[in-house]
């Protein structure tokens, strides 16, 4: 399950609108074109053989054992471990006799995603009065992964770190047109270091031509490899050690800097895995989607709750090898049972941990028509059932859900103690479907101390509990999809309404820590060109202003909004 409060074809999605948030909302139209720059995948890498890891384990536990092994390196989106996981899931679908539902008669829905940044050709940095050859890239300095690629020759102005963190309007005349220089370390032990991205965003808005961040002697330079944020409007570089001392002295005298960073986005192929269990209805009127994300955090970094664990494998046994395992076993039960009239689409999403990338891509480029999708059942973190408790979100998105769940639960061998939550939005892939007016259920066995930590390993999951969740979900499907005829669900009025969907009584979105509330559900898969809106809460300020799902926020008061980070800074 994603902790995000983080280039697609769009044939089926709603029209996008640029939105400038002022005292009175105003709207204009925008056509989006997102160029995709592909990079080659690793030429070859041998995936571990499933029997060598699984041994004599069976069912859900066997799937978790394979997917959450160290050899899959945490299954980060568009990595070799994720590809092995995707291949494993496709092989299981094939073994069950499920029909490929991906592109080109295969099991995969592939597209390119940005996984990081890299230094391009022509990087250079020097200051007047210093070595004409400049400083050494990688040793003395690097551009940030969100730096603009442009040459700037400008006078340097040193800004105190406290001012740099806030950068009030009083500094406008001082930094406009110049290269702003700040200390990148905390001013005292109890203070946080400045956020270079946030400072640079504000500096660019105030007319600065570049930002130079000075680091200490021993600190590492920023890594480009993991930086996925879009380029800002100005060059932003970090300088350390003796080079930082020389820049500091030059800035104090108002010397000129010659800054020419070159940063390129790195893109790799991501894959959803999809298979279909055909229904007996020859017309194929409907489809029910069952989904789970199979990616996790890889080697830590963004999203990890393990301190100092960058570079350590985060196996994500519960989040979300468990949901993927239940998905596969539900497919087994339904494929081996009495036929259903309508088709079932099983889909394992990738990129959920980066902001619902896989499900967002699917609803923009659906493999099967969204108009015929009667419901989406989502499995995310179902491996820690304790005291028989299981929470089901989305029960308010269709009139029949509560009765369906109670009947289905009663049909299982070991009924669970179900707790219902009506909200259809949340930090997992069902949100992408709910925003399109599709009733959803999201099954969740609760969080725990190992959530998003390196300790979330396969030995800690509750195999018996996962089996009970499998039975429940299969029973729900059979309650919704009959043996003959059409499925019948009644979306609650307002579900998918672009003006808003009823959520918690306080109208809150995913917890962000902000006291200021607009009521938007962001689309975190969008890289730049504004912050896209998946939906808005009913009764929220956004809904009252006329903001709709599908809109793109490009300005908030005086602040230009390039992406979700700029939106958060504006709040």
328-339 tens-digit pLDDT: 999 999 999 999
What percentage of residues in the chain have a pLDDT greater than 70? 84
3-state secondary structure of 430: helix
Residues 6+ apart with CB under 8 A from 132: 126
Q: Which of these, 335, 367, 336, 334, lies nearest to 349 by C-alpha position? A: 367
Tokens of 455: 């300790």
344-359 tens-digit pLDDT: 999 999 999 999 999 9
What are the CA-CA distances from residue 528 to residues 54, 119, 236, 356, 392 (Å)?
A: 42, 20, 17, 16, 34
Residues 6+ apart with CB under 8 A from 185: 161, 193, 215, 216, 219
Would the pLDDT of 396 be above 90? yes
Contact 326, 60 (CB under 8 A): yes
Using pLDDT thresholds of 50, 70 and 90, give the confidence band for residue 503: very low
Considering the segment(s) 122-261 as one domain, its CATH architecture is: 3-Layer(bba) Sandwich (3.50)
User: Quick one: pLDDT at residue 519?
Assistant: 76
User: Quick one: pLDDT at residue 308?
Assistant: 83
Would the pLDDT of 453 be above 50? yes
* More confident position, 540 or 367: 367
What are the CA-CA distances from residue 250 to residues 129, 186, 261, 336 (Å)?
A: 8, 21, 19, 74
269-284 tens-digit pLDDT: 999 999 999 999 988 8
51-91 tens-digit pLDDT: 999 999 999 999 999 999 999 999 999 999 999 999 999 99
Burial-class residue 309 by CB neighbours within 10 Å (0-12, 13-18, 19+): middle
How high is the mean pLDDT of the chain?
A: 86
Provide Rg for the chain, Cα atoms.
Answer: 25
User: Quick one: pLDDT at residue 511?
Assistant: 36
Cis peptide before 462 (omega within 30 of 0): no
Contact 380, 292 (CB under 8 A): yes
Would the pLDDT of 21 be above 80? no
Reduce the secondary structure of 29-94 to three states and give it as a string: ECCCCCCCCCCCCCCCCCCCCHHHHHCCCCHHHHHHHHHCCHHHHHHCCCCHHHHHHHHHHHHHHH
Q: What is the mean pLDDT of residues 483-508?
A: 58
Q: What is the mean pLDDT of residues 440-469?
A: 97
Position of tokens 């300005």?
555
Q: Which of these, 391, 428, 425, lies nearest to 502 by C-alpha position? A: 425
Burial-class residue 57 by CB neighbours within 10 Å (0-12, 13-18, 19+): middle
> Quick one: which H or E segment has residue 473?
helix 463-480
Instruction: Give the DSSP per-residue string, 234-272.
Output: S-EEEE-HHHHHHHHHHHHTT-EEEEE--EEEEEEEEEE
Would the pLDDT of 225 be above 60? yes
DSSP state of 529: S
Q: What is the mean pLDDT of residues 521-543?
A: 74
Tokens of 40: 């080659």
Would the pLDDT of 9 be above 50? no
- CATH code of the domain made up of 50-115+270-480: 3.40.630.10
User: Quick one: pLDDT at residue 8?
Assistant: 29
Would the pLDDT of 294 be above 90? yes
Q: Rounded distance, CA 276 to CA 541, Å?
A: 41
Using pLDDT thresholds of 50, 70 and 90, give the confidence band for residue 449: very high
Q: What is the mean pLDDT of residues 172-192?
A: 85
pTM equals 0.83
CA 179 from centre of chain:
33
Q: What is the mean pLDDT of residues 413-441?
A: 96
User: Quick one: pLDDT at residue 497?
Assistant: 36
Q: What is the mean pLDDT of residues 490-519?
A: 49
User: Quick one: pLDDT at residue 425?
Assistant: 92
Would the pLDDT of 95 be above 50? yes
All structural domains of the chain with their residue ranges: 50-115+270-480, 122-261
């Amino acid at each position: 399950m994603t902790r995000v409060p983080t280039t697609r074809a769009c044939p089926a999605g709603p029209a996008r609108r640029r939105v400038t948030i002022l005292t009175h909302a105003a709207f204009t139209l925008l056509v989006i074109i997102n160029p995709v720059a592909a990079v080659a995948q690793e030429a070859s890498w041998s995936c571990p053989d499933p029997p060598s890891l699984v041994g004599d384990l069976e069912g859900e536990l066997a799937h978790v054992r394979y997917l959450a092994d160290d050899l899959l390196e945490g299954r980060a989106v568009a990595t070799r471990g994720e590809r092995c996981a995707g291949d494993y899931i496709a092989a299981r679908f094939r073994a069950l006799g499920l029909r490929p539902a991906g592109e080109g008669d295969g099991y995969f829905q592939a597209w390119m995603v940005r996984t990081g940044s890299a230094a391009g050709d022509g990087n250079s940095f020097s200051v007047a009065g210093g070595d004409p050859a400049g400083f050494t890239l990688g040793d003395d300095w690097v551009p940030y992964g969100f730096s603009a690629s442009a040459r700037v020759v400008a006078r340097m102005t040193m800004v105190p770190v406290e001012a740099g963190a806030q950068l009030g309007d009083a500094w406008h005349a001082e930094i406009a047109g110049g290269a702003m220089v700040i200390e990148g370390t905390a001013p005292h032990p109890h203070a946080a270091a400045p956020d270079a991205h946030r400072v640079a965003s504000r500096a660019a808005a105030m007319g600065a031509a570049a930002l130079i961040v000075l680091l200490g002697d021993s600190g590492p330079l920023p890594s480009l490899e993991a930086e996925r944020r879009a380029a800002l409007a100005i060059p932003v570089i970090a300088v350390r050690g003796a080079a930082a001392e020389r820049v500091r002295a030059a800035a104090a005298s108002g010397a000129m800097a010659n800054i020419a960073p070159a940063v390129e986005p790195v893109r790799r192929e991501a894959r959803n895995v999809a298979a279909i269990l055909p229904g007996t209805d020859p017309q194929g009127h409907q489809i029910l989607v069952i989904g789970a994300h199979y990616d996790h955090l890889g080697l830590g970094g963004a999203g990890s709750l393990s301190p100092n664990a960058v570079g350590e494998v985060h196996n994500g046994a519960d989040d979300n090898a468990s949901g993927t395992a239940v998905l596969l076993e539900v497919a087994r039960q339904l494929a081996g049972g009495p036929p259903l009239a309508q088709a079932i689409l099983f889909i394992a999403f990738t990129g959920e941990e980066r902001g619902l990338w896989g499900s967002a891509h699917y609803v923009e480029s659906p493999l099967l028509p969204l108009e015929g999708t009667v419901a989406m059942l989502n499995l995310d973190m179902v491996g820690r059932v304790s005291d028989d408790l299981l929470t089901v979100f989305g029960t308010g998105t269709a009139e029949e859900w509560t009765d369906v769940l109670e009947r289905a639960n009663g049909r299982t061998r070991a009924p669970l103690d179900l707790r219902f939550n009506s909200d259809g939005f949340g930090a997992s892939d069902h949100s992408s479907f709910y925003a399109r007016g599709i009733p959803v259920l999201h099954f969740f066995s609760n969080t725990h101390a190992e959530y998003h930590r390196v300790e979330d390993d396969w030995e800690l999951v509750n195999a018996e509990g996962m089996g009970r969740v499998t039975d429940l979900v299969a029973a729900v499907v059979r309650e919704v999809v009959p043996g003959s005829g059409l499925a019948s669900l009644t979306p609650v009025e307002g579900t998918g309404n672009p003006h808003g969907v009823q959520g918690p009584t306080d109208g809150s979105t995913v917890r962000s820590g902000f006291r200021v509330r607009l009521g938007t559900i962001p689309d975190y898969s969008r890289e730049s060109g504004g912050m896209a809106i998946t939906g808005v809460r009913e009764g929220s300020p956004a809904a009252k202003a006329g903001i709709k799902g599908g809109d793109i926020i490009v300005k908030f008061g005086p602040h230009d909004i390039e992406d979700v980070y700029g939106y958060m800074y504006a709040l």
